[in-house]
Structure 1
Amino acid sequence: MYTCSNKTGWSQTFVPDCVPEDPNALKTQIVRYCAVSSIENSHHAPITDIMWLPDHVEINRMGVPQENKGFESCQIFTCATDNCILVWDTRPTKGPQQQQQGAKPKDKDGTKNPIGVPDTFKHLDLTWKPMLKVHLHKSEPGGDHAPTKFSIAEKQGDRGALSKATDGGVPDKEASVTGGYFHSGKPESGREKRTLQTVKTHFFVGTEDGEVVYVDWMPQKDQDTGKIQTPKPDFYHTMHDGPIMTVQRSPFFMDILLVVGGWNFTIWKEAVVSGPILQSAPNPICMTSGFWSPSRPGVFYISKVDGSVDVWDLLDKTHEPSITQSVSPSAITKIYPHAVSHKQHLLAVGDSSGTLHILEIPWSLRLPAPNEVTGVANYFEREVKRRGFVVQRWDFREHEKRELEAEAKKKAGIAPNVLLTDEEIEYRLKLEYQAEGNFLRELGITKEEEPLPQT
């Protein structure tokens, strides 16, 4: 085993071919599944993203976030390109019939199962159904959104929402939003689960068409049909020219998201609905993945199909990457930085040929600068103000354009569109009725004048 380094400070570890002493040392261990979901109730397209819900929160069948008293993750979010996101629960649906954790399975004759598959989730096998379905409708005709990646606001380990929970029931705000579908009365008993009001039910979704969608997973009552269904997205913008490959929140700012897809990346702030606060210029090489630095708030990594990794430092440059490191001759499919210790950070890079590369991150990219968190936060705040100024200028230019069009029509002698009052509309209808009656009398269809309708 040896290590080489280059001028940028990166180092890569190589393992030469050798014959192991134990012939079974390099055999791949097989992990067998414990349960399979019901085919009829599963996704109808390949699953593109999956995530466990944090262990301090769970959601009921109506999407209301509640306290998880067991503090064990028991629900899973999955998304696929079949236009929906499903929520699965690993617990049995009724009765304490759950098998003992870690019980050793046996065959019918009582002998030990040689495969060694535990029956922990035996109650789910081939009968597992999602408890909640989030369908991504579009606001206009032309198909629905096909999700590829998603990100929720709640974070594993952050249990601040528990201190602001309410005892039982559902908040009045949620009850009013759902059109009275929920009841926000007193808890039925002391065992009622507490509702977590501060947990955001809105989340970001990246789609196959390069759209960034912001939608609420809590179903609402449709005013037209009266059905309980997923509401329309609060907003969505098409900012990428390819499928979204990464939707990840910053570990330092939970309302800041990095989105990578196609030939560019964008950075979003959750409170800004008009668009991203930062959008990169189109890159000549397609991007495949992205990841925030675990130790520096202004640094993130972008992988590309030419086998290189771009390192972006927002405090250094925002128009181009600070460093571009060539890693593999094949396209990179996934990257993952990890802090082994305070003095050693590694970057795992996987490529399309099935090779895993481990790179050591130099000290300049792992040690944060003094007050870097404050500096990056100020930068994001300036970008939010800049975005607001851009939207204001758009509105001003649109208003100015309408005034110029009206002035041009006036000079050309074209009367502008005027809104008539009810009396003027009624007078015009009477004139049209009289003209029609005169025409019918001229044709001999009617011989005497019919009275006008009384109003």
Structure 2
Amino acid sequence: MYFDDTSEEQKLFEDIQFKRRVQFVDDDNIIDIAVIPAPKFTEQLEATDQACQVNIQNELKSSAAQTRSKKHKEIQTENFDFDAENNSDLKRVRKIFDKRAQIVEDAILENLNTNAFQNYDVDWYGDDSGITNPFTLINKQFLKEEESQVVAVEWNSSGTTIFCGYGRFDHESVCTHKGSVATWNVDRLKMDPNKPDNLIETPCCVSSISTHPEHPAVVAVGLFNGEIHVYDTRQDDPLVATVTDKKEMHTDEITNVKWVKDPKANKKKFMLLSCSKDGRILIWNALPTKNQLKLVDGYVMLNDFLPKRNIRSLGVEMAVSSFSMNKIDKESFIAGCDSGGLFKCSFNGKNVKDLQKWEEAFPIDLKSPVEFAFDSLHGPIHSISYSPFHRNLILTCGTDSEIKLYSVLQSSCLMSFCPENGYLYSVEWSPSRPCVFACASHNGNILIYDLIEGGKDMCQITKASDSPIFALSFNQQRSEYLASGDRSGVVKIWKLSSNYTKTDSYEIKKLDEISEKPFDKS
């Protein structure tokens, strides 16, 4: 770089210490060029903490990540080529297997055909025969206002919530009481056994309830005055459907309501079936959008179907007191009456002839569902239970104080049990053990029978209450839970031992033997 002597740059040049000077020589001139080193500035940086604009609500901490660093290293083992076809050891092993294979196959076939270990089952759970009571549920607020009884209990489809119906069975005439439906979720950590999660009051006593097979919060409720209500506990206004046409209503107490699959529909559709002491069995289509139960079909039970009927009373309706659907054949069911009549029925019934009074008084033509009549019982039939594991076996109980086991293929009972516990109000098969069933008695006992056992071990008696037990319900999702409801308004949840929940491989065959060969009365 070249500077003039009189320029300001020259003054700056004099103040700078040169490190070196370079001369460039061309053809005519010698040019001095001063190389000016760049000035060295030392900058002192100061870091100050400033407040962040983001307001951190929660304390942040750094933690180690879960990711691990990996390194690949060569191992000392060298690759080894294995020739399976030419390996002499493998050939010898194959020859040994070929010689022993036939011996092992013969032994397996012999084991399959032997009866040596037919009744033997490994007891993985040990000796556990106790029954405990983990929950006792009391609707104290409602019981103070109404001296109601627990007339029905049933678990919802998920098995977490118990639905309880409150009413009375001792009506002398018209019902003047209030009824209610209460629910408790037994899986809740802060469940209050003295206060239900939901409480729905009804205009009169509840006589029957049925939870929906797919919707855990939906329940159908039958009332003493013949009304049917469908409630959804998730809604602010829980009433979602009811019978709007009074001409279609039952004229007497609803004894059973049950959600059933529509046998005529191709897709999965549920209808509501109701039974009443007016002798009618009606099928309804629930229409929540219209807040309506639409009558679809109907049947009537007449004493014409009794095996030994009185001709002078021909054409009189029989009060339907109990009902049970076949778990396998969706078109057949069993109906029991207050007269003691027990009938195998079908939805493919024929229209009833010579019943002009029914046709005039009712909006639709009623059919006769009866296909087969069993031997009559001595008194009203309170409960019927179809076996979930066998299409031909049913249980009944009632005022004759006996539990009777029937096959739908013959009129007389196969077995009868006389527990001497007074009237029997409810009987139900276990959902997990094919040979186990439970029964509720007037003496406050829960009777659990095991058909695999014999003698005194067949029945275990548990004192559940000082009052008669009106209702009983197994949990279909968790078979170790059994709910009971008594006349004093108390609901108890029982936990069954593994003896009544673990399935025995021999049980289905035992049921086949019972259904094919009649047993002596015990």
Question: 1: distance between equivalents of 2:459 and 2:195?
Answer: 41
Distance apart, 1:362 and its partner CA: 1.4
- Indicate yes or no: 2:322 matched with 1:149: yes
Match of 1:122 among 257, 266, 290: 290
Q: CA deviation digits over 1:220-265, x for unaligned, max 9?
A: 2567799975237333345433322211111111221111111112
Distance apart, 1:66 and its partner CA: 2.1
Contact (CA 8 Å) 1:137, 1:232: kept in 2 or not? no
Residue 485 of structure 2 corresponds to which residue in structure 1?
Answer: 350
SS in 2 for 1:376: helix
Q: CA deviation digits over 1:257-297, x for unaligned, max 9?
A: 1111111121122222x222222347351111111112211
Contact (CA 8 Å) 1:249, 1:256: kept in 2 or not? yes
Residue 266 of structure 1 corresponds to which residue in structure 2?
Answer: 404
SS in 1 for 2:370: coil
Q: How does 1:50-199 map to 2 (within 5 A)?
A: 50-54=257-261, 58=262, 65-69=263-267, 71-73=268-270, 75-91=271-287, 120-122=288-290, 124=292, 128-139=293-304, 140=309, 141=311, 142=313, 143-153=316-326, 155=328
Residue 9 of structure 1 corresponds to which residue in structure 2?
Answer: 130
Residue 429 of structure 2 corresponds to which residue in structure 1?
Answer: 292
Q: Which residue identity is paired with 2:368?
A: P
Question: 2: distance between equivalents of 1:48 and 1:223?
Answer: 26
Question: 2: distance between equivalents of 1:39 and 1:339?
Answer: 35
Classify 1:25/1:148 alpha carbon distance in 2 versus 1 (closer, same or farther; 3 Å): closer
Q: Which residue identity is paired with 2:239?
A: Y
SS in 1 for 2:335: strand
- Indicate yes or no: 2:460 matched with 1:323: yes
SS in 1 for 2:390: coil
Contact (CA 8 Å) 2:284, 2:295: kept in 1 or not? yes
Question: 1: distance between equivalents of 2:490 and 2:370?
Answer: 39
Classify 1:238/1:269 alpha carbon distance in 2 versus 1 (closer, same or farther; 3 Å): closer
Question: 2: distance between equivalents of 1:52 and 1:295?
Answer: 21
Q: Which residue identity is paired with 2:276?
A: A
Question: 1: distance between equivalents of 2:452 and 2:295?
Answer: 44
Question: 2: distance between equivalents of 1:146 and 1:211?
Answer: 10
Contact (CA 8 Å) 1:205, 1:214: kept in 2 or not? yes
Distance apart, 1:9 and its partner CA: 1.3
Q: Which residue identity is paired with 1:348?
A: A
Contact (CA 8 Å) 2:279, 2:301: kept in 1 or not? yes
Contact (CA 8 Å) 2:300, 2:367: kept in 1 or not? yes
Question: 2: distance between equivalents of 1:286 and 1:16?
Answer: 24
- Indicate yes or no: 2:512 matched with 1:377: yes
Classify 1:35/1:311 alpha carbon distance in 2 versus 1 (closer, same or farther; 3 Å): closer
Residue 172 of structure 1 corresponds to which residue in structure 2?
Answer: none
Q: Which residue identity is paired with 1:13?
A: P
Whose strand fraction is larger, Structure 1's or Structure 2's? Answer: 2
Distance apart, 1:88 and its partner CA: 0.9
SS in 1 for 2:437: strand
Classify 1:215/1:368 alpha carbon distance in 2 versus 1 (closer, same or farther; 3 Å): closer
SS in 2 for 1:311: strand
Residue 449 of structure 1 corresponds to which residue in structure 2?
Answer: none
Which structure has more relative contact order (CA 8 Å, sep 6+)? It is: 2
Contact (CA 8 Å) 2:445, 2:461: kept in 1 or not? yes
Q: How does 1:3-42 map to 2 (within 5 A)?
A: 9-13=130-134, 28-30=198-200, 31=233, 32-37=238-243, 38-42=245-249
Contact (CA 8 Å) 1:83, 1:146: kept in 2 or not? yes
After TM superposition, the runs of 4+ consecutive aligned structure 1 residues lying more than 6 A away are: 222-228
Residue 335 of structure 2 corresponds to which residue in structure 1?
Answer: 205
Distance apart, 1:355 and its partner CA: 0.9
Question: 1: distance between equivalents of 2:298 and 2:137?
Answer: 49
Distance apart, 1:82 and its partner CA: 0.2
Question: 1: distance between equivalents of 2:258 and 2:277?
Answer: 16
Question: 1: distance between equivalents of 2:376 and 2:416?
Answer: 8
Contact (CA 8 Å) 1:89, 1:131: kept in 2 or not? yes
Runs of 5+ unmatched residues, structure 1 = 1-6, 59-64, 92-119, 156-198, 388-455
